[in-house]
Structure 1
């Protein structure tokens, strides 16, 4: 969702910078956060916190700050809504799998005008193991009745963790060019497709 359908990277980075300044007294390079973007927030914070108590405190700071700015900073990538509408017209089942909490993910989709186009949302609290583990993808396949048709399913993502999860679950994978990761980082995961635009997906 983030970096694929919704342009949220600047909001995420603002929240990260604020959290690091509050708890560590300094603003660290954005690259340290971006390298793991797409994995669960708690896992990312553990890479900066000194103990679990600090993880909890950082999580609270990050969450409160992000909530205050969310609706003003989040926007869909141009063409995202039209893409989902066209896919639904074709009879596609559409699931969003995210490392965000469900309430935040739903709000992002609502603000972007995409919520009513989605059949299923799998959030971080719905699984025991987040991406790159395939559990969330497996759960989506099961709920949608597609477990036996996984090679007809395309998992689209902007991070290597998305591509790893999709591949491990046995689906086809597609990387998008408009997320925060460099093309060479995504190509190293050998996606089945590389999308330069939303229209590329409709041509598959």
Structure 2
């Protein structure tokens, strides 16, 4: 029986790519570099700030200016956190259904707590989140299952009673290793239908999934 739902944040519940597009291209403009295509940036959002700086400036981490540019990028992101972000269509409806069904839910993200906690505090529809697990709380972030297992423990749930939603291969790997049901969010930043394995559930959009009868998912668990 499904008793809980856990989610990745960026690319799964939250479309945060516009924040990253703004911050990276503003920094590139400052240094008189050409802007990076928005869709290309979206595909790298889940890989973190270092990958985005390398993508935009076409440099590697060994470059003498890399750390300086990365710090400037993160400072800009912190100052513009959530300014252009929105929940994906259907996220609010799904969270409301979770509450109506008296299910437990939380977020397991590779986003640092400093940023993730602020987003949750400032996004009313996320305020009912029962647990937030970030790399700050772990020895190993995703694709390790440690974060998902910690969230299950905090919510007093068996992993087999939980669905984990994510939009990156790291999410799928962590979910499968933790023993939760895996929901692959192909509307997000980094997954395609071909990335799914036999027992995975494809979620093409959250609004469609919010209409699901959760009991029908029990056969997968």
Q: What TM-score do you get using the length of structure 1 for normalisation?
A: 0.80
Q: What is the DSSP-based 3-state SS (H/G/I as helix, E as strand, rest coil) of the residue aligned with 1:156? A: strand
Q: Distance in 2 between matches of 1:134 and 1:43?
A: 23
Q: Of residues 176, 179, 188 in structure 2, which corresponds to 1:179? A: 188
Which residue does the alignment assign to 1:63? 74
Could you say if the C-alpha distance between residues 168 and 44 of structure 1 is closer, same or farther in structure 2, counting changes exceeding 3 Å?
Answer: farther
Which residue does the alignment assign to 1:116? 127
State the Cα deviation string for residues 156-197 of structure 1 (Å, max 9, x = none). Answer: 01122111111111111001232123524xx32426211123
Tell me how large the CA RMSD over aligned residues is: 2.9
The answer to which structure has the higher helix fraction is 1
How many Å apart are 1:152 and its aligned residue?
1.6
Which residue does the alignment assign to 1:5? 13
- Farther off after superposition, 66-75 or 19-28: 19-28
Q: Distance in 2 between matches of 1:115 and 1:106?
A: 10
Could you say if the C-alpha distance between residues 164 and 23 of structure 1 is closer, same or farther in structure 2, counting changes exceeding 3 Å?
Answer: farther
How many Å apart are 1:86 and its aligned residue?
1.5
Q: Distance in 1 between matches of 2:40 and 2:88?
A: 24
Q: Determine if the alignment matches structure 1 residue 188 to structure 2 residue 195.
A: yes
Q: Which has the higher contact order (CA 8 A, sep 6+)?
A: 2
Q: Distance in 2 between matches of 1:109 and 1:8?
A: 13
How many Å apart are 1:7 and its aligned residue?
1.2
Which residue does the alignment assign to 1:85? 96
Q: Between Structure 1 and Structure 2, whose CA radius of gyration is higher?
A: 2
Q: What TM-score do you get using the length of structure 2 for normalisation?
A: 0.74
Q: Distance in 1 between matches of 2:178 and 2:187?
A: 24
How many Å apart are 1:15 and its aligned residue?
2.8
